[in-house]
Structure 1
Amino acid sequence: IQALLTPEDAVLSDELNHASIIDGIRLCKANKYRYKHMDMQDLEAKLQDAQKHRLRLVATDGAFSMDGDIAPLREICQLAQKYDALVFIDECHATGFLGPNGRGTDELLGVMDKVTIISSTLGKALGGAAGGDTTGPKPLIDLLRQRSRPYLFSNSLPPAVVGCASKALDLLTESNAIAQSMAAKTQRFRSKMTAAGFTISGNDHPICPVMLGDARLAAVMAEDMLNRGIYVIGFSYPVVPKGKARIRVQISAVHSDEDIDRCVEAFTEVGRKHGAL
């Protein structure tokens, strides 16, 4: 973002974007606008206000890491076209398992030809543990190669990491079985937890936030789950807004149906024990 935008430009950011996007925007000299989370009316108002600037860039997570929400990319792209803006999406929590071929939210929502810039990581679903990528029009990528400070002043990725990520991409290209399996397991967990009486935030994403509200409740329940052999993480302010503490559960393709059922049973026991149900 710092490499692409000047003081004559504007960047419009979802208020719940990942910290890495927020910090990247802070470093740039462009005019900054923040719109309400996935609120298209507010985004349109901000785009109207930003018409006075040379370029406009809408920046959003494809999938939001703390809430499991999927950005309304169709609507974002329509507004971007209407107000002559570029679209940047961060696919770190979507690459590898969302969309028919695991390409991410842009594939899932059918806007692959309307998004200008995509950034992602090799360190999550692709299993590379480090590194990332940025894709876009060739002139833009050429500019990043010349101006992006993290790219210019860092070492290349270790060959082992590149090999691991490359093989993961090969597996995704050869078959969509992993992505389909992940979707089925996610649906199983979300439906069973909802039936048990829990509130699960977000869309059909394998990041499944169990909303509890109280910070201490989230902490003690997560600890009690660990005592039962299930590792989940409690999050509270300042990582998430006050009053919206939660336990974040992340479903993996290697989890079996038995694993998921055991997790739901443990949540039900712990929830009743601590008065969450």
Structure 2
Amino acid sequence: MRLSSPPDLWKLLWIVLLFNAMGCIQSIRCKPKSFRDSIIVLEVKTCIDSNPTSIDESSSVVLRYRTPHFRAHAHVLVPPVAGQETWTIGWIQACNHMEFYNTYGNKGMSSWELPDLRDGKIQAISDSDGVNYPWYGNTTETCTIVGPTKKDSKFTVSMNDNFYPSVTWGVPVSDSNVPQLSSIHRDQSFTTWLVAINKATSETLILQTIRWRMRLHINVDPDKPLGQRAVLDEPITQEQPQILGKNEPIPANAMVKPNANDAQVLMWRPKNGVPVVVIPPKY
């Protein structure tokens, strides 16, 4: 039996190595990617509209104001989903700070408060629509992918938020409607997450984190005629939202009931005397 010459041995070794390499490449390429590895956020845009807070004095009972909108848009690409999985992708929002009080001269102030957040018992509270927990909403705010899918899925999820409250001209615990409102102060901070959640397993992937804040101060002269009482002091233009370079975890309270609207309490805090609950929480 004639032994192969050195060139033949090298040739044989090269063929073996080549086939092994091709097999490895093929096995890597054929291995399906997990949803976590395959989802791609193509673009995230966020802003607060540049228009100032508008003031409405058309009612003799309440002053209304409307703040500019916070807006967030995300373009997301999901390659084919191999398994029988259902994922919802969308926006979750939580309030992590709230100061909202209305002063009535030397009488005192009314204040919308979130007791657990105020007292430091929780880090944040859900700002869900109160129906589709934990999502901010379920129209433009979310999109659901049901696997298996054969093609890429590309879609946009968007949300917007602003304040449009009514504040009584008169002291809220009084039967009198005599105008005594002298100022409005509001300062709220939020964290907004772009998230993907597996319906079956509740696996949660945080794709993007945004922080934003809304502030306003309105001076009111109750002695002036209706329509001339309130003046926006500051800020005229809001600070723009911040897209974080590193995602933040979602606090547990941001994912479950109650939401901020149901948990808030309207208090009357007189300059002299005991605070009174004007409107209790809804939950």
Please identify which structure carries the higher strand content.
2
TM range (shorter): under 0.3
Relative to the length of structure 2, the TM-score reads: 0.19
Does 1 or 2 have the higher relative contact order (CA < 8 Å, sep 6+)?
2
Computing the radius of gyration from Cα coordinates, the structure with the larger value is 2
